[in-house]
Structure 1
Amino acid sequence: MINSNQQYDVILDAREDRCPMPLLKAKLALNKMVPGEQLCVTTCDSGSLKDIPQYVAFTGDTLLNVQEDEGVYLFVIQKNEKRV
């Protein structure tokens, strides 16, 4: 069972959204965050399994965790100081 109740700086529930909205909402959230903060994104969109890790790799942020449970995906991203 995915638990998004841990301590994160920002929690984004995008379970009702479809591609490309989970990624766009994650991007907007990260842009408002300060380096070192963690974003937790939950989504049911399987396209996020490709989109979010690719975006994180591009920006230079850190993907700390990816989980999947019964069609729900959880991503934990840490915003880094040096980003694209």
Structure 2
Amino acid sequence: MEGWLKALIACACVVVIIGGGYMAFDIKQMKEQRTAATEEAAAQSECRQSLLNKDMRAMREYCLKKGYISDDEFYRAGL
């Protein structure tokens, strides 16, 4: 009787450890997604600002290549 009880406790411990690992992984993934979304929003904002400044042609080219601005916006901003 003691053997199966020890096995049951060991299995319960394994389940708790795996569940904790899964939760930690999930929390890490959500944090990375939030960080990426924040960085993406900042990049888009910088691209919008580059449309207003004629000296930022390299930045506008980068934004065009990444898809943050359209061809039309790029050419309207000036060469």
- Asked whether the two chains share a fold, i.e. TM above 0.5, the reply is no
| TM-score between the two structures when normalised by the length of structure 2 | 0.31
Q: Between Structure 1 and Structure 2, whose CA radius of gyration is higher?
A: 2
**Structure whose residues are more often strand by fraction:** 1
**Structure whose residues are more often helix by fraction:** 2
| TM-score between the two structures when normalised by the length of structure 1 | 0.29
